[in-house]
Amino acid sequence: MNQPAIKHALNVKRADDFAQWYQAVIAEAELAEESGVRGCMVIKPWGYGIWERIQKLMDAEIKEAGVENCYFPLFIPLSYFAKEAEHVEGFAKEMAVVTHHRLISDGKGGLTPDPEAKLEEPLVVRPTSETVIGAAMARWVQSWRDLPLMVNQWANVVRWEMRTRMFLRTSEFLWQEGHTAHADEADAMQETLRALEMYRAFAEGPLAMPVIAGPKPENERFPGAVETFSIEAMMQDGKALQAGTSHYLGTTFAQAAGIRYQDKEGQQALAHTTSWGVSTRLIGGVIMTHGDDDGLRVPPQVAPQQIVILPMLRDNDGDEALLAYCEEIRKALAKQSAFGERVRVLLDKRPGKATQKRWAWVKRGVPLILEIGGRDAEGGMVSALRRDKLWRADAKPNFVGQAKDEFIASAAAELEAIQTALYEEARARRDAQIVRDVTDLAGLKTYFAEGNKYPGWVEMGWSKPTGDALDKVVEQLKALKLTIRNTPLDAAKPEGVCPFTGDPAVEKILIARSY
């Protein structure tokens, strides 16, 4: 990829304009860019490399759970959707519809769909695959012996969002969607919670992004789901990002698609299904959790490169020895193991001044940067920079001079330390920004008042109203630009009364602004 003109810092700070800062990081770290196709982005090598790391680690977890990867059609006939009213209701407004299968000249040097090639039944570009996978499950499931049936696919999906933001909300995005069928509710719910826990552990492990897991309120459920669980992460602006969801679908889709099996008593029964997914949105979460005013900081476990070596080339005959020294270090580092995998290290020989290239890598957030000059080579030394500790590019970055062998021997431990440090930093910030002493609407108003910089989340008890009563609560919160994120699985028992209904509080909920 071509190097952008290197600025030593982003042109905007988080504190000044978080939304602008987010866009700046994506541009300066060369993660992605607008494609010119409405709402669709181009994911560039460094951004896609992070996604490949997410895929590799998550796919191993999915297979470990006995879920098998398949691939299902991109297109879904309208009639499949029509079978499940609630599901249609939820997605009909944002579906890309294929109506023709041929183009002809429009006579003005352009092209137009051929009226002679109109599809009898329009096809929808999948926004999610419950309906088409349900149809396959109906073919595959006959007996209780066929259950549980657990499949997953890594795929692109399309939801025609009106307002898009790179990684967070794009018309097309990449994700994995797991779909499972079970004999009964207990087994299906167990799988729903297993996937939720897999996501929690993944977010807090490889992504170093603390999350809170729990069921969403009724009004926030996936269209057609009986229960939707989410993991919610707090971004540096205090807003909540729904980073993954797991749904218990009851027999809704089994009914619509006809997923029936003969149970051990020989009776016909409907399967209970689940679905769960995470997407490229996770990359947006990584940016807003770990980015700083110098750009991105990528957690070592998902960094496409964990260590970058920058030789201070002088375009003289000393360069050869310097490069040999750097290559020797690269080889030695590539033999080390961190997080149970080989260390990923790049020797960046591309043209350009090392100090210039330094800032490109700082902005991309590679965990460790080595700058090596002729004198280091002669003295068997390296200068190492821990990206997570760098603060403000206009200050002098704190490179540490170290003996080569000492650095190599400690590199893996250093990477693991960076992973932990990023998690602890995010965890401490998140915990400090969850308040529990707000107990009524007036308190919410005050806490989330404009001007009140970086408010976080409010955890409060409520009476878990449903139907119209819930709608009223949602309206009141909406007036404050607030939403209920979920009911933390590990929250303490509530006390007192529900600020919305006056009834006794039965559980705690998280209230926040959100993406």
Q: Which of residues 142-181 bind a second copy (CB under 8 A)?
A: 142-143, 145-146, 149, 151, 155-156, 158, 160, 171-172, 174
Q: 511 φ, ψ to 5°?
A: -115, 130
Question: Which of 111, 321, 324, 403 is the binder for a second copy (CB under 8 A)?
Answer: 111
Residues 295 and 10 sit within 8 Å (Cβ to Cβ): yes
Question: Which of 57, 65, 92, 469 is the binder for a second copy (CB under 8 A)?
Answer: 92
Say whether residue 258 binds a second copy (CB under 8 A): no
Exposure letters 313-342 (e unless 16+ CB within 10 A, then b): beeeebeeebbebbeebbebbeebebbeee
> What pairing do the DSSP bridges indicate for beta strands 68-69 and 149-158?
parallel
The C-alpha atoms of residue 488 and residue 498 are separated, in whole angstroms, by: 17
The C-alpha atoms of residue 9 and residue 293 are separated, in whole angstroms, by: 7
Say whether residue 76 binds a second copy (CB under 8 A): yes
Question: Which of 61, 77, 262, 497 is the binder for a second copy (CB under 8 A)?
Answer: 77
Question: Which of 74, 354, 417, 435 is the binder for a second copy (CB under 8 A)?
Answer: 74
The C-alpha atoms of residue 115 and residue 98 are separated, in whole angstroms, by: 13
Question: Which of 15, 19, 102, 481 is the binder for a second copy (CB under 8 A)?
Answer: 102
Say whether residue 186 binds a second copy (CB under 8 A): no
141 versus 207: smaller Cβ distance to a second copy: 141
Question: Which of 64, 66, 107, 110 is the binder for a second copy (CB under 8 A)?
Answer: 110
CB atoms within 10 A of CB 425: 17
Residue 504 neighbours by CB under 8 Å, 6+ apart:
463, 496, 497, 498
Angle between helix 281-290 and helix 18-28 axes, rounded to 10 deg? 110
Residue 129 neighbours by CB under 8 Å, 6+ apart:
72, 76, 153, 155, 157, 177, 179
Instruction: Please give the structure tokens belonging to residue 105.
Output: 């000249």
The C-alpha atoms of residue 53 and residue 304 are separated, in whole angstroms, by: 7
Residues 365 and 325 sit within 8 Å (Cβ to Cβ): no
Residue 223 neighbours by CB under 8 Å, 6+ apart:
86, 87, 88, 89, 90, 91
- Which stretch in 20-28, 101-109, 271-279, 364-372 sits in contact with a second copy by CB under 8 A? 101-109
- Which stretch in 68-76, 206-214, 473-481, 507-515 sits in contact with a second copy by CB under 8 A? 68-76
- Which stretch in 92-100, 327-335, 489-497, 499-507 sits in contact with a second copy by CB under 8 A? 92-100
334 versus 480: smaller Cβ distance to a second copy: 334
The number of residues that bind a second copy (CB under 8 A) is: 74
- Which stretch in 18-26, 93-101, 283-291, 335-343 sits in contact with a second copy by CB under 8 A? 93-101
Say whether residue 353 binds a second copy (CB under 8 A): no
The C-alpha atoms of residue 267 and residue 470 are separated, in whole angstroms, by: 39
Question: Binding string to a second copy for residues 14 to 43, with x set by CB under 8 A, is what?
Answer: -------------------x-xxx--xxxx
Question: Which of 16, 64, 66, 71 is the binder for a second copy (CB under 8 A)?
Answer: 71
Instruction: Please give the structure tokens belonging to residue 365.
Output: 């957030």
In one-letter notation, the amino acid at residue 299 is: P
Q: Which of residues 121-140 bind a second copy (CB under 8 A)?
A: 122-125, 132, 135-136, 139-140
174 versus 212: smaller Cβ distance to a second copy: 174
- Which stretch in 99-107, 193-201, 312-320, 475-483 sits in contact with a second copy by CB under 8 A? 99-107
173 versus 202: smaller Cβ distance to a second copy: 173
56 versus 392: smaller Cβ distance to a second copy: 56
Say whether residue 112 binds a second copy (CB under 8 A): yes
The residue among 300, 382, 366, 387 whose CA lies nearest residue 338 is: 300
11 versus 143: smaller Cβ distance to a second copy: 143
**Measured from the CB of residue 442, what is the shortest distance to a second copy in angstroms?**
40
Say whether residue 70 binds a second copy (CB under 8 A): yes
Q: CA torsion angle for 193, 200, 232, 279 (degrees, to 10)?
A: -90
Question: Binding string to a second copy for residues 191 to 230, with x set by CB under 8 A, is what?
Answer: ----------------------------------------
Question: Binding string to a second copy for residues 442 to 461, with x set by CB under 8 A, is what?
Answer: --------------------
Say whether residue 98 binds a second copy (CB under 8 A): yes
* Beta pairing partners, 77: 123
The residue among 364, 357, 309, 302 whose CA lies nearest residue 331 is: 309
